[in-house]
């Protein structure tokens, strides 16, 4: 009976180890957070990274608002992620703010975001800027 229990434990350990190794190659835990993303290119995971970095975007917007209090509108970006999670291409599809300087600064901020490794991915991100 003890041999069966020992064999069962060993097999359970091997199975668990293999399962965890296969999951760790696909799963993403965000830094300093217990949030979990099974697919690093899913809309939810991309949104999570953007939400964690929105402070950078709004800092840029608030500085621009001091110079132009009427500045508002939607900027739509097309963003390309490499397999390493780097933003290597970003373009403006639509800019209702009519401020090229603001759009350029926000694009630079996006390039500093740390997306997780995964497949190459293109996505569109609409950013609505409204003074508070």
pLDDT at position 28: 44
Whether residue 90 lies inside any domain: the answer is yes
- Please give the Cα distance from 97 to 102 (Å, whole number): 8
pTM of the complete model:
0.70
- If one counts the domains in the chain, the total is 1
Q: Is the pLDDT of residue 14 over 90?
A: no
| Averaged pLDDT, 100-117 | 95
Name the residue range of residue 55's domain.
Answer: 40-129
Name the band, by pLDDT with cuts 50, 70 and 90, for residue 8: low
| Averaged pLDDT, 85-96 | 96
Whether residue 12 lies inside any domain: the answer is no
Whether residue 17 lies inside any domain: the answer is no
Residues in Cβ contact with 102 at an 8 Å cutoff, skipping those fewer than 6 apart: 60, 61, 64, 71, 75
Whether residue 108 lies inside any domain: the answer is yes
pLDDT at position 44: 85
Whether residue 35 lies inside any domain: the answer is no
């Amino acid at each position: 009976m003890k041999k069966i229990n020992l064999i069962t434990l060993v097999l359970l350990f091997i199975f668990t180890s293999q399962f965890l190794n296969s999951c760790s190659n696909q799963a993403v835990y965000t830094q300093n957070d217990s949030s979990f993303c099974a697919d690093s290119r899913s809309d939810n995971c991309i949104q999570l990274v953007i939400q964690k970095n929105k402070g950078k975007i709004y800092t840029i917007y608030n500085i621009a608002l001091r110079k132009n209090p009427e500045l508002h509108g939607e900027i739509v970006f097309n963003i390309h992620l490499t397999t390493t999670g780097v933003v290597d291409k970003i373009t403006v599809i639509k800019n209702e703010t009519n401020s090229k300087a603001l759009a350029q600064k926000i694009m630079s901020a996006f390039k500093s975001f740390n997306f997780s490794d995964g497949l190459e991915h293109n996505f569109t991100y609409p950013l609505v800027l409204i003074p508070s």
